[in-house]
Amino acid sequence: MMATATGQAGPTDACYMLLQGREDQETPNLQTLKRNLERGTDEIKAEALQQVIAGTLQGENYESVLMHVIRFVMPTRNKRLKKLLLLYWEVCPKYAADGTLKQETILICNALRNDLQHPNEYIRGGMLRFLSRLREAELLEPLIGPMRDCLAHRHAYVRKNAVAAVAAIYEAQPQLIPDAPELVQEFLATEADMTCRRNAVEMLARSAPEAAVQWLRENAAAVVGFEELLQLAVMDVIRRTAHDFAAEKGLFVRIAFELLGAASSAVQYEAAATLVGLSGNAAAVKAAAGSYVALATAASDNNVRLMVLDRLDRLRARHEGILDDLAMDLLRVLAAPDIGVRRKALAIVMRLTTHRNVGDVVAMLKKELARAVADSGDDAAPEYRQLLIQTIHTCAAQFPEVAASVVELFLDLIADLSAASAADAMGFVREVAEKFPEMRADIVGRLLAAFSRLRAGRVLRAALWIVGEYAESPDEVRDAWTRLREAIGELPLLAAEQREADAAAAATTSADTTGSQALPASTSRRVLPDGTYATESSLTARPTDAAATLLLDSKPPLRAVLLHSDFFTGSVLASSLAKLVLRFAAATPPPPSEQVNSLRAEAVLIMAGIIRIGQSPFVTTPIDEDSYDRVLTCIRALEYMHEDASILADAFIADTQGAFARLVVGQDKRAADEVRRHTADNAVRVDDAIDFRLLTAKDATGADADESLEHDAKLAAGEPDARAAVSKLDSVVQLTGFSDAVYAEAYVNVNQYDILLDIMVVNQTSATLRNLSIEFSTLGDLRLVEKPSSYSVAPYSFSSVKAGIKVSSTETGVVFGTIVYDGPGVGDSHSIVLNEIHIDIMEYIRPAQCDSAQFHAMWTEFEWENKVNMSTTKEASENLDLRAYLRHIMKATNMACLTPDNALAGDCGFLSANLYARSIFGEDALANISIEKPTDDSPITGHIRIRAKTQGIALSLGDKISAAKVSLAE
């Protein structure tokens, strides 16, 4: 069965029909079609008529079939045939070669007139819908009378289609119904059906705006009681007429205000958009924003929530400072289960937070975090908790007055959070301790109280650094030492572990001996690495990994991480102990030397234990060289602490704290620069021209153009304003050669997740090419949405073929194709191979930002790595420094640099930086660039390591970097 579908883009647009036929069906000849139309049953006639319609759309000449259709098909009463007849009347040739209307069309008019007067209301309605797509004045003129009579029909289905037909004919051929606006006005005054009234109001809005405004003025009090469709039509009238009827602005604003409380969500959304387009008054903006917040809270579809939140964010950007009071209301959207909706809502809340409402916002976020911690069964709970912690962190960083309460919350919940969330919380606590010296004592005390409940190595390292850096007084050092000793356990470390192992081995041996008297030892055959066989007895089998892990987790936290081979934490522990001893020895008044020597000896004992544990068989991985050297450095520092006290104090205390202080200052500077840049982009200069909407031309774009129908249509069609001025010629790809029988070129329009190929096909021969089709195949994560239909192209004529391709991931894809056609002779078939169409990955990559912890976590997690070696010629690098080369790579890959500017400052002949980008599909791309230029006349050498979760992104970015390297060399 052939599926048919018709659609009308607008009252003045041509009607397009899409017909998808069976690929295994052969096109019958003309005589067979005539015979089937003349003598066949209703089913055979319907099949033949479908073939005639499809052939006509593809360029076949079926003019001689017209009389057979009129004689043998038109008198039928079969409903399926009647529907196909309406499609045929729309596509069949109605004009002769001299441009005059064919005589046979008189018979068509009679049939159409009879259907307009048919007693069945659905046949009448279908005919009226067909008339709205008819454009020939000679055919329409004798049908005007019956069509006008249908406006008074008893059935609403006929009346609503009659109004639509009157509107379409009046716009296409206004001379046929010159009194259409008055006729529709009279119809609207007596009509009770809401759908019919909606069609009438839309007709007046397009063709007679004065009449539409007059009707709206008369029925303003009843608008609230209208049904949804009519209320949406009222919003359409207001948007279309607001510019020309400025005197009625008060009426329009009042109606929009009233419809904000409508029962329909669609009406509320349109009313809010219309209201902010009519007025920039603070009350109107707040009312519209409140409606958006209510819609985002009540909507069940996450896509609707995201769309409403996006509109609210745009409204906030246009009216800074007006919507700050809605921050608390917007937090109700956090009840939505989707993490994307929550992230978008929290981002808007952060932009609405000020010194006036920051306390309430943080209090609400604290309650939400406590609830998220308690609700650990949700799969998205860890990600949501981390998002809340990051939001609270950002809020406290911007508003220091809430930092104390936030630190208290984080330290109370630190043991209940996941490792990633706890690490983020510790990062914030460390930053607050640096910015607010008066809070350091309280932070250290609370952190030491929760120290025994910390288990993750990342969290323990952050806590050790804070304690070692900010425990300044002798009492704080003693308290910290006591807590650290409890977290380490029995000393010496290795001797204690050896005693426990010996006791466990003795107990195991005793149990095994007892068991061996009752049961014989079981054996199993094993294959050794060299290929030989060996027998393993159950008496020598080791405990399971789960049992060993359970045993380690029962130990004190610092001891457990050391036995888990986390010697990075061990090196941080050694550094913190050295800082505590040095600070305790330098306290004023000086403490007794016995206490200093006691702490010093105990610290050296712990450090030596870390090294010995790392070299013992109790750990699966021995201590690494870096950690070994760091611990040994701390031991030697304590050994010579009296001789080099000032040098060691600078190295262990002043320099480390100064480095972190510079890091915090750099982060604040980057944030301030971002705010300053955003403010500069939205700022209005003093000498900028002021646009007065009442004084602009009718076709000018006002200040509220982004709320207009035209702007919404462009956004829906995927035409962003930033690319509106870009010529389409830049995206045109030539597919065939100029000497080929068929010339083809494609315009590649990349729109988010879809790619539209608009292909122009030109027949360069003197013969008609039949059944011309383009067959596509894709490489990569590209999928052809639908196969393009076949066409017949006349000599030296052209046709347009559209194909949609779905994109599912950020990978460089390739589209292959072949043009296949028949002709010019019977049985001739030809094919032309098309040039490849490469889809650029840069269309989907966007620069993004993340903190160093997230970058390192993703770097460890991602398994696909692509290493690209970099080298330039001496000529190319003469006037190019390392930072300029970095900017060149960033521009080529569309990635953002995460390394602070102060870390890139200076000229040492070496540069290392981290780059980050994120695709529109949510895929992350990481890169680390390490390059050097020892002298001014030396070439730039080095490499770039790219990591991603998928292989395609890593390889594609590597290709872009290689291309950028080649372009620089040229």
For the chain, percent of residues with pLDDT exceeding 90: 5
Can you name the residues that pair with 305 across neighbouring β-strands?
none
- What mean pLDDT is reported for the chain? 80
Average pLDDT over every residue of 912-941: 86
pLDDT band at residue 915 using 50, 70 and 90 as cut-offs: very high
Does 853 lie in the same domain as 835? no
Q: What is the pLDDT of residues 476-533, one digit of tens each?
A: 888 888 888 888 888 888 887 788 777 777 776 665 555 444 444 444 555 454 444 5
**Six token digits for residue 110:** 């009679």
Closest CA to 53 of 19, 98, 100: 19
Average pLDDT over every residue of 341-345: 89
Domain end call among 801, 821, 839: 839
CB-based contact 954:866 (threshold 8 Å): yes
Q: What is the pLDDT of residues 770-806, one digit of tens each?
A: 888 888 888 877 888 777 777 788 888 888 888 888 8
Q: What is the pLDDT of residues 553-567, one digit of tens each?
A: 678 888 888 888 888
Q: What is the pLDDT of residues 602-654, one digit of tens each?
A: 888 999 888 888 888 888 888 888 888 999 988 888 888 877 777 877 778 78
Per-residue model confidence (pLDDT) at position 163: 92
Does 590 lie in the same domain as 477? yes
For the chain, percent of residues with pLDDT exceeding 70: 84
* 87 in any annotated domain: no
pLDDT band at residue 744 using 50, 70 and 90 as cut-offs: very high
Q: What is the pLDDT of residues 800-856, one digit of tens each?
A: 888 888 877 666 678 888 998 887 776 678 889 999 888 777 777 888 888 777 888
| pTM listed for this prediction | 0.67
* 569 in any annotated domain: yes
Q: Is pLDDT of 697 > 70?
A: no
Does 571 lie in the same domain as 473? yes
CA pair distance 187, 180, nearest whole angstrom: 10
* 155 in any annotated domain: no
Does 901 lie in the same domain as 883? yes
* 96 in any annotated domain: no
SS3 per-residue string spanning 442-470: HHHHHHHHCHHHCCCHHHHHHHHHHHHHH
CB-based contact 112:147 (threshold 8 Å): no
Q: Is pLDDT of 551 > 80?
A: no
Q: Is pLDDT of 731 > 70?
A: yes
CA pair distance 736, 831, nearest whole angstrom: 11
* 585 in any annotated domain: yes
Per-residue model confidence (pLDDT) at position 683: 63
- DSSP-derived letter for residue 653 is I
Does residue 771 sit in helix, strand or coil?
strand
For the ranges 250-254, 475-479, 672-676, the lowest mean pLDDT is seen at 672-676
Burial class (CB in 10 A: 0-12, 13-18, 19+), 621: exposed
Q: Is pLDDT of 743 > 90?
A: yes
Tell me the Ramachandran region of residue 718: left when phi exceeds 0, alpha when psi lies from -120 to 50, beta otherwise: left
Q: State the CB neighbour count (10 A cutoff) for residue 775.
A: 14
Q: Is pLDDT of 245 > 60?
A: yes
Per-residue model confidence (pLDDT) at position 91: 82
- Per the model's pLDDT, the better-predicted residue between 702 and 403 turns out to be 403
Average pLDDT over every residue of 849-867: 85
Number of domains in the chain: 4
Q: Is pLDDT of 320 > 90?
A: no
For the ranges 192-196, 498-502, 876-880, 899-903, the lowest mean pLDDT is seen at 876-880
Does 636 lie in the same domain as 603? yes
Domain end call among 785, 805, 839: 839
Tell me the Ramachandran region of residue 847: left when phi exceeds 0, alpha when psi lies from -120 to 50, beta otherwise: beta
Question: Residue 867 sits in a domain of what CATH number?
Answer: 3.30.310.10
Does 891 lie in the same domain as 797? no
pLDDT band at residue 220 using 50, 70 and 90 as cut-offs: confident
Per-residue model confidence (pLDDT) at position 354: 87
* 642 in any annotated domain: yes
Does 874 lie in the same domain as 756? no
For the ranges 534-538, 600-604, 692-696, 851-855, the lowest mean pLDDT is seen at 534-538
Does 918 lie in the same domain as 892? yes
Distances in Å between the Cα of 491 and the Cα atoms of 368, 488, 498, 552, 562 are 43, 8, 11, 16, 14
Q: Is pLDDT of 13 > 80?
A: no
Does residue 709 sit in helix, strand or coil?
helix
Per-residue model confidence (pLDDT) at position 752: 65
Does 772 lie in the same domain as 749? yes
Per-residue model confidence (pLDDT) at position 787: 75
* 348 in any annotated domain: no
* 334 in any annotated domain: no
Q: Is pLDDT of 873 > 80?
A: no
CA pair distance 968, 877, nearest whole angstrom: 9
| Owning domain of residue 560 | 468-500+548-675
- DSSP-derived letter for residue 134 is -
Q: Which residues, including other chains, have CB under 8 Å from residue 48's CB and lie 6 or more apart? A: 28, 33, 36, 37, 40
Closest CA to 197 of 189, 188, 205: 188
Per-residue model confidence (pLDDT) at position 377: 59
Q: What is the pLDDT of residues 396-418, one digit of tens each?
A: 878 878 888 888 888 777 777 77
CA pair distance 341, 318, nearest whole angstrom: 22
For the ranges 111-115, 194-198, 722-726, the lowest mean pLDDT is seen at 722-726
Does 768 lie in the same domain as 619? no
Q: What is the pLDDT of residues 653-674, one digit of tens each?
A: 788 878 888 878 877 777 777 7
Domain end call among 645, 675, 705: 675
Q: What is the pLDDT of residues 285-307, one digit of tens each?
A: 899 999 999 999 888 888 888 89
Does 601 lie in the same domain as 491? yes
Does 627 lie in the same domain as 492? yes
Q: DSSP for 819-839, please give it.
A: EEEE-SSTT-EEEEEPPPEEE
Q: Is pLDDT of 62 > 70?
A: yes
Question: Residue 771 sits in a domain of what CATH number?
Answer: 2.60.40.1480
